[in-house]
Amino acid sequence: MKRTPSPRLRFGIGLALALALGIGLDVFLLMGARRADARVRAEREAIVTLNALTGAVERAGISGDEVRRAVAAWAKSHPSLAAVRVVVFEGISLEASTEPKDSGDRAAPRRLTREEKDLYDRGQRLRAAVETNRQEGAARKEEIEVSEIDRGALGLAGPLEKDGEVVGLVEIRTSGPPPPLRVPVSTSILFLVAPLAIYAAAAQLVGERRGPLAVTASLLLAAALFLFARQTLRILEADRVATERAVAERVVQEARVGASTLPAGAAPLVPSKWDTDVFRKPRPGAPGTPPGGAERRGRNVFFGVAIGAFALLAFFGFGLAARLGSTLARHRVAYLYIVPAMLAMIVLVFFPFLYGVAISFTQQTIYNTGQPLSHLWVGVQNYSHILADFSIAKRAPDGSLAFNYLNFYWTLAFTILWTVSNVAIGVTVGLLLALILNTAGLALRPIYRVLLILPWAMPNYITALIWKGMFHRQFGVVNQVIQIFGGQPVSWFDKPFTSFLTALATNGWLSFPFMMVISLGALQSIPNEIYEAARVEGASRWQQFRAITLPSLKPSLIPAIIISVVWTFNMFNIIFLVTQGEPGGSTEILITQAYKFAFERYRYGYAAAYSVIIFLILLAYGTVQNRATRATEGI
Amino acid sequence: MGRKSREELPHPPLHAILLVATLITIYPILWVLTIALSGKQSLAIADLPAEPAVSDRLRSVIPWPETVSLANFRSLFADQPFARWIVNGAIVASATTFLGIVLAATAGYAFSRFRFPGRRAGLMSFLVSQMFPGVLTLIPLYIILVKWLGLGSTRTGLVLVYTTTAIPFCVWMLKGYFDTIPRDLEEAALIDGAGPLTIFRRIVLPLAKPAIAVTALFSFMTGWNEFILAATLMDKESMYTAPVGLRFFVGGFSQQWGYFAAGAIIVSIPIVALFFFLQRYLVSGLTAGSVKG
């Protein structure tokens, strides 16, 4: 058994790891943010160019040699532009192109070829977007399409307009990616090594006292992380300023080029309208004002990272890591055996469960799945809507009760009725048949037994679909039998009660064999001598049953009942496939109702809350049952 | 002291009850057979005239086809992609069984034989996970498997999900059984110098065959019969498993009952056969597992 390392060493290791985590994450996030900023800058510059070029092409008359001359001049003066293409809808023509492949006999102007159909389609998409936005008076569809062609090079397409009508498009392709960003290696190493050196020196003075060591390490960590974060924010701010300057420079440059290509007598270009977003609306915020939201988000991120780093420091410093390590090492064989199963369970069961619980506090629907959960947070609103809604029934004008089948309490009551009646039927029928089959000397016993078990063996979704077919209003055999006896055919799925009966019949059919087999097994294990002794005492049949049979059945029957309550409560397939909740959702059980909220009404948040409530009900049942039977004792 | 001293109930009424129960039990199965062999897509056994007499009605209730034909079975394989669905289902169910047993047997053995921190919490967490409503995990699972891992419409994704569905039950089941195997053998092997892995493979696993058989049956049934997850994760028709395919025949506006019935028979035969083969173990295993908790 290894001894726990000394406090000095522990806090040293803790500090080193916390610094590595904190600084490492900060650098990682910084590089991510800078890369995103660089991308935004490239996009903004390209949009300025596109808008300016579009203006120039429009003023050159949309089509003709003027346009080609302007485009050529533009391409020559822009090393950052790899290619420009101008397409006009009328005549489906490629008016101008500086693409290398569009030379020789493919040079513009010419008709677009079949392979270039997507170019034409893109133009029509832009036209549709412009028209939609104009009709709605909103910026909903993108009027400039931006796509990343390969590593950093951007392709942009914007609409060409004439008299307020989209008549074509201008497409540009930027050359090459922006220069790669430098990772601040030396700064990071400095921030990593300096605190450790100071700690080492301080630790010599402090000695092996835990308190002062903890304070020293914490102060050093806090100082290092704070200074590094400030440095990082400064870099980001510098990036932002540089972006604004670069965009402003680009506008000036384009204005100069544009003026030189402008034909005589054309209206002047409007450079102030070139720095737009993809909806061709001016960017929000006048240049120069810092975007507060981004800054705040940045601070929050650094705060989160710092909390993680401090947790790590404490974890190591106070010896928890050492203790955990020695526990893991001592029981490593056991943990090795469990890790594969546990890992699978964590990734595909426990994590999805927690994620689902998180969704239950949001108003997520199919339409906003792209947004982060924090934007859709509504607290316990879903829960209160489900649990505080008591409008189960209201009185119709003619005095009859009209039930609200979507109400939680209706579904809960129905689920309980469903569970209790099914389990009662299963136990009664199963026990009765078991008692008969247990009669000594009964002929054909094995054959009866095999045939009676069949429903258990059948896949239950098939059973459900079969019974659904047999209860068909017009062709189902159940109605044929009723008509043989002179009755009227029943529309089984039109009334809640008859609909319930169909599901009950189906589930009863498939669930009694389980109870029968369990009971039969228990009955066969009762020694015959006990009955004989009872008969000698003069006990009647009923007395024997009460005093011998039932008590002997209890140990196997009670667990079977407990498990079948849970099965029936969650018997998704039967309700989902047989009654389908008809009529009007009256015969839904909780689990199918939750499914419908999620996948037919697409209210993910609400459905998740519904499911969490189901889980809590089952958990409560499980706990009570566990208390009552003490089943998990001594595991 | 033979039968005479024991006051037996008379047998004929017992046979009557059993006969009625058996008839009700096998009627739906005979019905499916009839529809499957009818060669038609209708869910009626017989076509009724406009004014049916009682004899006509009787004919439409007795599960015997008017004409026997294998057309439904033939076109299930010739005209429908049913063979593909069956193969998909078989691959998924077999892989689930294998993976489920490997993971559950190792974990169950550790839970049974070793005492370590987190043991009780681990066992309880498996138990509680059985109460997680499927709907709650369905949306996150979709995001994880399809969006993050890119396993949408793949058999691998389905196998992973089914395995984790089956693991908790299998772990508890096997743990309960391992508990009943005396440790003497293992201790003897330990003295002979065998390592934990050798003991597990050579001694414990062979002794636990009945429990492993039940676990296998359970895992296979999970994979072979499940349809909500499969319907959610398998978008492509060519990747359907058998249950999704069968529902495809009679769900929504589709009314191809002949195909459904023929397919249902094909799908049920292996599972029913397996069930009867392992049934003895299933009962003992279920009760042992559940009595132990």
Q: Is B175 exposed, middle or buried (0-12, 13-18, 19+ CB in 10 A)?
A: buried
Could you tell me if A232 and A146 lie in one domain? Answer: no
Domain final residue pick, A148, A174, A200 = A174
CB-based contact A338 B122, cutoff 8 Å = yes
Task: Quote the minimal CA–CA distance from B293 to chain A in Å.
Answer: 5
* pLDDT greater than 80 at residue B279: no
The mean pLDDT value for A6-34 works out to 87
pLDDT tens digit sequence for B84-141: 999 999 999 999 999 999 999 999 999 998 888 889 999 989 988 888 888 888 888 8
Tell me: pLDDT of B250 over 90.
no
Which of the two residues, B283 and B20, has the higher pLDDT score? B20
Instruction: Tell me, yes or no, whether A167 and A256 share the same domain.
Output: no
Any domain includes A431: yes
> B interface mutation test: which of A458, A525, A545 has the most B CBs within 10 A?
A458
Distances (CA, A) of B273 to A515, A614, B22, B241: 20, 35, 19, 20
Tell me the nearest-neighbour CA distance from B96 into chain A, angstroms. 13
H or E element, residue A353: helix A351-359
All residues at 6 or more sequence positions from A382 whose CB lies less than 8 Å from its CB, including other chains: A360, A361, A363, A605, A606, A608, A609, A610
Q: Which residue in B has a C-alpha nearest to residue A620's C-alpha?
A: B131
Annotate A59-85 with b (16+ C-beta within 10 A) or e (fewer): bbebbeebbbebbeebbeebeebbbbb
Q: Mean pLDDT across chain B, nearest whole number?
A: 84
Is residue B182, in this structure, part of any structural domain at all? yes
More confident of the two residues A394 and A572: A572
Judgement on whether residues A263 and A298 belong to the same structural domain of the protein: yes
B135: closest chain A residue by CA: A595
Give A137 or B74, the one with higher predicted confidence: B74
Q: Are residues A82 and A196 in the same domain?
A: no
CA neighbours closer than 13 Å in the CB half-sphere of residue A204? 5
Interface of A with B in 416-475 (CB under 8 A): 429, 432-433, 436-437, 439-444, 448, 450-463, 465-470, 472, 475
Same domain, A236 and A114: no
- Closest residue on chain B to A360 (Cα): B136
What are the phi and psi torsion angles at A341 (to 5°)? -65, -40
Structural domain includes residue B58? no
Q: Is residue A347 part of a domain?
A: yes
ipTM for the predicted complex? 0.86
B230 domain-assigned: yes
Q: Does the pLDDT at position A31 exceed 90?
A: no
B279 part of a folded domain: yes
Residue of chain A minimizing CA distance to B112? A635
Contact across the interface for B9 and A357, Cβ inside 8 Å? no
Name the residue with higher pLDDT: A373 or A383.
A383
- Check whether residue A19 and residue A98 sit in a common domain: no
Establish if A538 belongs to a structural domain. Answer: yes
Q: Tell me the C-alpha distance between B106 and B220, whole Å.
A: 18
Residue B106 belongs to domain spanning: 73-292
- Are A85 and A94 contacting, i.e. CB atoms less than 8 angstroms apart? yes
B143 touches A at CB < 8 Å: yes
Do A231 and A311 lie in a common domain?
yes
A345 neighbourhood in chain B, CB within 8 Å: 125-126, 129, 164, 167-168
- Cβ contact, residue pair B139, A598, below 8 Å: yes
State how far the alpha carbon of A274 is from the alpha carbons of A229, A247, B61, in Å.
35, 10, 79
Per the domain annotation, does A401 fall within a domain? no
CB contact under 8 A, A439 and B32: no
Does some domain include residue B192? yes
Q: Does A489 touch chain B (CB under 8 A)?
A: no
Distance CA A390, CA A414 (A): 15
pLDDT tens by residue, A139-178: 778 888 888 777 678 888 999 888 888 889 999 888 777 6
Whether residue A288 has pLDDT greater than 60 = no
Over residues A585-596, the mean pLDDT reads 92
Euclidean distance between CA atoms A267 and B54, whole angstroms: 92
pLDDT at A58 over 50: yes
The total number of structural domains that make up chain B: 1
Contact criterion met (CB < 8 Å) for A541 and B7: yes
Query: How many domains does chain A fold into?
Result: 3
Mean pLDDT of A299-325: 84
Please give the residue range of the domain that contains residue A484: 411-602
Q: Is residue B101 one of the residues assigned to a domain?
A: yes
Residue A459 in tokens = 């896949």
Under the banding of pLDDT at 50, 70 and 90, the label for residue A292 is: low
Cβ under 8 Å to B: A residues 17-36: none
Mean pLDDT of chain A: 85
pLDDT tens digit sequence for A492-544: 999 999 999 999 999 999 999 989 988 888 888 888 888 889 888 888 888 88
The residue among A365, A466, A525, A580 with the most chain B CBs within 10 A of its CB, best to mutate, is A466
Q: Which residues of A touch B9 (CB under 8 A)?
A: 439
Q: What percent of chain B has pLDDT over 90?
A: 25
- Check residues A272 and A21 and name the one with the higher pLDDT: A21
In a domain, A621, yes or no: no
CATH classification of the domain holding B144: 1.10.3720.10
The pLDDT-based confidence of A291 (bands split at 50, 70, 90) is low
A36 burial (CB, 10 Å; 0-12 / 13-18 / 19+) is: exposed
**What is the predicted pLDDT for the residue at A175?**
79
pLDDT for A405: 86
Shortest CB distance from B104 goes to which of A341, A355, A622? A341
Domain boundary among A119, A148, A174: A174
| Confidence at A432, pLDDT banded by 50, 70, 90 | very high
Tell whether the model's pLDDT for residue A322 goes beyond 90. Answer: no
Q: What is the mean pLDDT of residues A327-342?
A: 88
In percent, the amount of chain A with pLDDT more than 90 equals: 19
For the segment A88-120, what is each residue's pLDDT rounded down to a tens digit?
Answer: 888 888 888 888 888 878 887 888 888 888 888
Over residues B197-231, the pLDDT tens digits come to 888 888 888 888 888 888 888 889 888 988 888 98
Regarding whether A207 and A79 lie in a shared domain, the answer is no
Cβ-based neighbours of B279, under 8 Å, separated by 6 or more: A453, A517
User: What pLDDT was estimated at residue A38?
Assistant: 84
- Cα separation, A190 vs A186, whole angstroms: 6
Residues of A in contact with B109 (CB under 8 A): 337
Q: Is residue B32 part of a domain?
A: no
Does a structural domain hold residue B51?
Answer: no
The shortest C-alpha distance from B81 to chain A (Å) reads 19
Query: Pick from A174, A209, A230: which residue ends a domain?
Result: A174
What mean pLDDT do residues A250-256 have? 87
CA distance B74 to chain A (A): 20
Name which of B113, B267, B276 is nearest A462 (Cβ-Cβ).
B267
Among partner residues B132, B221, B293, which is closest to A353 by beta-carbon distance? Answer: B132
Q: Is A404 inside any structural domain?
A: no
Q: What is the pLDDT of residues A202-229, one digit of tens each?
A: 888 887 788 888 888 889 999 998 998 8
Does A544 reside within a domain?
yes
Asked if the model's pLDDT at residue B142 lies above 70, the reply is yes
Q: Which of A203-212, A457-466, B55-64 has the highest mean pLDDT?
A: A457-466
* Per-residue pLDDT, A278: 80
Q: Is B173 on the interface with A (CB under 8 A)?
A: no
